[in-house]
Copies of this chain bind each other. A is one copy, B any other.
Amino acid sequence: MLSKKTKYAFHALTYLGKHRDQKTVLIQDISEEYGISHKFLENILLELKKAGILGSKKGKGGGYYLIKEPKDVALSKVIRLLDGPIALLPCVSLNYYEPCIECKSEAACGLNKVMIQVRDEMLKVLENKTLADILDKE
1/0 contact string of A13-39 vs chain B (CB within 8 Å): 010000000000000000000111000
1/0 contact string of A100-138 vs chain B (CB within 8 Å): 111000001111011001100110111001000111111
1/0 contact string of A38-80 vs chain B (CB within 8 Å): 0000000000000000000000000000000000000100000
Identify which of B75, B85, B108, B121 contacts A114 (C-beta below 8 A): B75
Identify which of B7, B102, B124, B126 contacts A34 (C-beta below 8 A): B102
What separation, in Å, do the CA atoms of A133 and B111 have in the docked complex?
9
Nearest CB in chain B to that of A102: its residue: B34
A residues adjacent to B (C-beta < 8 A): 1-2, 7, 10-11, 14, 34-36, 75, 85, 87-90, 100-102, 108-111, 113-114, 117-118, 121-122, 124-126, 129, 133-138
Nearest CB in chain B to that of A96: its residue: B1
> Given that A102-B34, A121-B121, A138-B108 are known contacts, is A114 also in contact with B129, CB under 8 Å in the complex?
yes
27 A-B pairs with C-beta separation under 8 A: A1-B85, A1-B87, A1-B89, A1-B90, A2-B88, A2-B89, A7-B100, A14-B110, A34-B102, A35-B101, A35-B102, A36-B102, A75-B114, A108-B138, A109-B138, A110-B133, A110-B134, A110-B136, A110-B137, A113-B134, A114-B129, A117-B125, A117-B129, A118-B122, A118-B126, A121-B122, A121-B125
